[in-house]
Amino acid sequence: MTDSDFVPLIKSGKIERKIKQIAKVLDKKYGQEDVCFVCVLKGAVIFYSKLLKYIKNKNVELDFVEVKSYCGTTSTGEVKMLKDISIDIKNKHLVLVEDIIDTGLTAKFMCEHFKKQKPKSILMCSLLQKPDKLSVDLNMETLVAFNIPNKFIIGYGLDLDEKYRNLKDILILKENK
């Protein structure tokens, strides 16, 4: 792949300004209450680390979950959990930090999984969402930084077969690539 295979969608400056706003919304929402921020690996890792730098709440715990549902540029329709969290989330607010909500299957799967551990509340905080692709009733509170068109994207943590996660902007993969 070369630079001409991708079209810029969102520049890093715009992403980072939005992340600061999201952090303010979360601080206003939770104040100094106990909040567990769980990063959904691997795609959310850059969004998560930027977001957490701006959170002022001192009563925050961090953990990581790893799930997989995509193969190449398409969803397999099946969500697999590769790594679960180890912190206790009972009676604490849970914020799941995700890279993108596409069909919504992963978000729904995680919500059902973590509900069993009786958190005080669950919020799905996602950098991106493709509203046209949503195929399930999410039935959970969501906070989304950017709604995007139904295209396959990479960069800012998002991959194509594990590559391109380190690119600073969000880019669209041109059709037929």
Residue numbers of the site for ligand 5GP (CB under 6 A)?
A: 43, 69-70, 75, 98-107, 152-154, 158-159
> Torsion angle, CA of 30/90/143/128, rounded to 10 degrees?
130
What is the SS3 string spanning 68-135?
EEEECCEEEEEEEEEECCCCCCCCCEEEEEEEEECCCHHHHHHHHHHHCCCCCEEEEEEEEECHHHCC
Nearest residue (CB) to ligand 5GP, 30 versus 40: 40
Least spacing, CB of residue 116 vs ligand 5GP, in Å: 19
Nearest residue (CB) to ligand 5GP, 17 versus 77: 77
Nearest residue (CB) to ligand 5GP, 23 versus 172: 172
User: Residues with catalytic annotation?
Assistant: 102
Judge contact between 10 and 17, C-beta under 8 A: no
* Cα–Cα distance for residue pair 115/90, rounded to 1 Å: 9
Least spacing, CB of residue 119 vs ligand 5GP, in Å: 20
119-129 as b/e, with b when 16 or more CB fall inside 10 Å? Answer: beebbbbbbbb
Nearest residue (CB) to ligand 5GP, 10 versus 30: 10
Structure tokens at 151: 């295209």
Least spacing, CB of residue 33 vs ligand 5GP, in Å: 27
* Cα–Cα distance for residue pair 172/128, rounded to 1 Å: 13
Least spacing, CB of residue 28 vs ligand 5GP, in Å: 26
